[in-house]
Structure 1
Amino acid sequence: MRIRYQISVIAAVLWLSACNVIPEPEQTRVYPLPQVLAPMQLDTYAGTLRVAQPSALQALDLPRVAVIQSDGRQAYWQSLRLQDRLPLVVQDALVRGMQDSQIATHVVRDSSASAFHVELQTHIEQFAIINASSPQARSAAVVIRAQLRRANDRQVIATQRFEAQYEGLGSGEAAALAGLAEALAKVQRDMMMWANLALQDK
């Protein structure tokens, strides 16, 4: 009986020792996308612009950050999550940027019951970190297709594809998000200049 007790004690000690060397799983953290876009000086459209929730491929319709590997395959940053699904994050950035720049008298979301004159519809083609052989060669890429559609007759009045790349990210979650925010801000600037001209010519 004493021998069996000693064996049990030794087994318990060995089990506790093993627990100390088992690596803990990497913790997932939720990060808000930084807001880096400064307000622009635009001619205000006298009407209401509605910003629809962007569409996206199922692989991007997630609160995860896509990573394009050097062999072209898509994966996800395991320890990183956005504060919401990517289309909602992008819609929030578009609405905020257009409101701050006063592109129209009113800028609303498609979740609003407000009447509107023109709707901005977008599709996210790419929103990802592009991996490379070294962390310094990593880049962030954002590609969004947009169109403006009149509310009264559903006629498309303008369409355009916007893309931007931010290079030299380095490593780490903060660097990745900063790069994506910069690339998105470049797309937003180009999109707002395009939309501003299209709205004035409407």
Structure 2
Amino acid sequence: MTTEVRFPAARRAYRFLPVLAAAALLAGCGGGATPTTFDLSAPGGLSRAAGSRAVMVVAEPTAVQALDSDRVIVRDSSGALSFIGGAQWADRVPALVQARLIQTFENAGRVGSVSGPGQRISPDLQLNTDIRSFSIDAATGTAVVEITARMVGDRSGRIERARLFSARVPAGAVDGPGATRALDQALSQVLVEIVRWAR
């Protein structure tokens, strides 16, 4: 069962503030059951083909506010968003995607080294990504992951190339285990494609 949270126009948003405040107070008082926490995985088993010696930094992905959270999102045919009750991610989705993308590069061994920003290194390249979709499409019962990737020359600051990556995986039951498993599988497909493209 999902709890629908719509995102109305700004001029009408203030009507919902008392409701949201009450919900936050109830949550703080331990009024509900503790949600089950799910994680995302980093694909392994990629062929460790000869790559480059480049040093790369993977920035945390950007995302709209609805996706920049630890909630498992369902999108209906009208575009309205709702959250799957009783389920949450182990961290904010952008932080998790960044960590698993770095691990996938490490597993593949196709660049000299890869890390997040702030590691006191002088990178040759920076990978910037934007999460366009990371949700369950209720109309088709599929997990949809769409991520745009831009390879930036760190010294020049110029975008060297860019591409949209996407994957859809049947979710089966739209509940915590089913939805998170399908989203994890769809993300794994996208991560593998990004690593291969980044060579």
- For residues 75-99 of structure 1, what are the alpha-carbon distances to aligned partners after superposition, in whole Å with 9 as ceiling and x for unaligned? 1112111111110000011000001
**Structure 2 alignment gaps of length 5 or more:** 1-30
Of 58, 61, 65, which aligns to 2:68?
Answer: 61
- Confirm whether residue 100 of structure 1 aligns to residue 107 of structure 2: yes
Of 171, 192, 197, which aligns to 1:194?
Answer: 197
Displacement after TM superposition at 1:139 (Å): 0.8
Secondary structure of the corresponding residue to residue 118 of structure 2: coil
Displacement after TM superposition at 1:26 (Å): 4.6
In the alignment, which residue of structure 2 is the partner of 1:14?
none
Displacement after TM superposition at 1:140 (Å): 0.4
In the alignment, which residue of structure 2 is the partner of 1:3?
none
1:63 maps to a residue whose letter is: D
TM-score (norm 2): 0.79
Count of aligned positions: 169
Question: Relative to total residues, which structure has the larger helix share, 1 or 2?
Answer: 1
- Confirm whether residue 141 of structure 1 aligns to residue 156 of structure 2: no
Q: Distance in 2 between matches of 1:40 and 1:119?
A: 23
**Greater Rg by CA:** 1
2:142 maps to a residue whose letter is: S
Of 33, 42, 58, which aligns to 2:40?
Answer: 33
1:126 maps to a residue whose letter is: S
Among the aligned pairs, what percent are the same residue?
Answer: 24
**Structure 1 alignment gaps of length 5 or more:** 1-23, 197-202
Q: Distance in 2 between matches of 1:52 and 1:171?
A: 31
- Confirm whether residue 111 of structure 1 aligns to residue 118 of structure 2: yes
Displacement after TM superposition at 1:115 (Å): 1.5
In the alignment, which residue of structure 2 is the partner of 1:166?
169
TM-score (norm 1): 0.77
1:61 maps to a residue whose letter is: D
Judge conservation of contact 1:29–1:79 (CA < 8 Å) in 2: yes
